[in-house]
């Protein structure tokens, strides 16, 4: 599950990925962004629950969002905190050992576009605990 690379000093270590993913699956809607081959895939909804098997965290959703996360590729989880189109935006950024983005999970918004307060508070608590932030 843990990468062979030591975790960067300014992020949540990869061994906390499952704990974080389990917590996020209990939240209301979030937005998950997957970057691959120059394309951007976006899922808005509840992040699916998963289970560990054969080195993967297997997502089993009821909404059509499923997959298999290779936990060994996650080197660290960064905290993105920036304005997006003039509004605050927060995301957990899962990166590989070369610094590439594997995927992001953004704090969700309600029907009026407001951030869910409980998600924002949880994100900020993780960010404060791991003393890191990314503003790009």
Q: What is the pLDDT of residues 10-21, one digit of tens each?
A: 689 999 999 999
Domain total for the chain? Answer: 1
Helix and strand totals (H; E) in the chain: 2, 9
User: Is 18 part of a structural domain of the chain?
Assistant: yes
Please check whether residue 80 lies inside any domain of the structure.
yes
Residues above pLDDT 70, as percent of the chain: 88
Residue 134 within a domain: no
Give a yes or no: residue 2 inside a domain: no
Q: Is residue 1 part of a domain?
A: no
Does some domain include residue 52? yes
Place of tokens 């905190």: 81
pLDDT value of position 84? 81
pLDDT in tens, 26-52: 998 999 999 888 999 999 999 999 999
- Write the pLDDT tens digit of every residue in 106-115: 999 999 999 9
pTM value is 0.86
CA 61 → CA 37, 50, 100, distances in Å?
24, 8, 26
pLDDT at 66 over 70: yes
The reported pLDDT for the residue numbered 95 is 95
Give the integer Cα–Cα distance in Å for 135 and 10.
Answer: 13
Range of the domain at 72: 12-129
Instruction: Tell me the pairing of strands 67-70 and 76-84.
Output: unpaired
**CATH number of the CATH domain containing 96:** 3.40.1570.10
């Amino acid at each position: 599950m843990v990468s062979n690379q030591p975790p960067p000093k300014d992020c949540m270590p990869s061994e906390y990925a499952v704990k974080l993913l389990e917590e996020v699956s209990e939240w209301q809607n979030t937005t998950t962004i997957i970057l691959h081959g120059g394309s951007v895939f976006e899922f808005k909804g509840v992040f699916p629950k998963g289970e560990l098997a054969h080195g993967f965290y297997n997502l089993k959703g009821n909404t059509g969002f499923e997959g298999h996360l290779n936990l060994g590729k996650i080197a660290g989880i960064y905290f993105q905190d920036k304005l997006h189109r003039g509004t605050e935006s927060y995301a957990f950024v899962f990166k590989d050992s070369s610094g590439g983005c594997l995927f992001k999970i953004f704090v969700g918004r309600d029907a009026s576009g407001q951030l869910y307060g409980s998600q924002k508070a949880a994100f900020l608590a993780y960010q404060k605990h791991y003393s890191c932030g990314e503003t790009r």
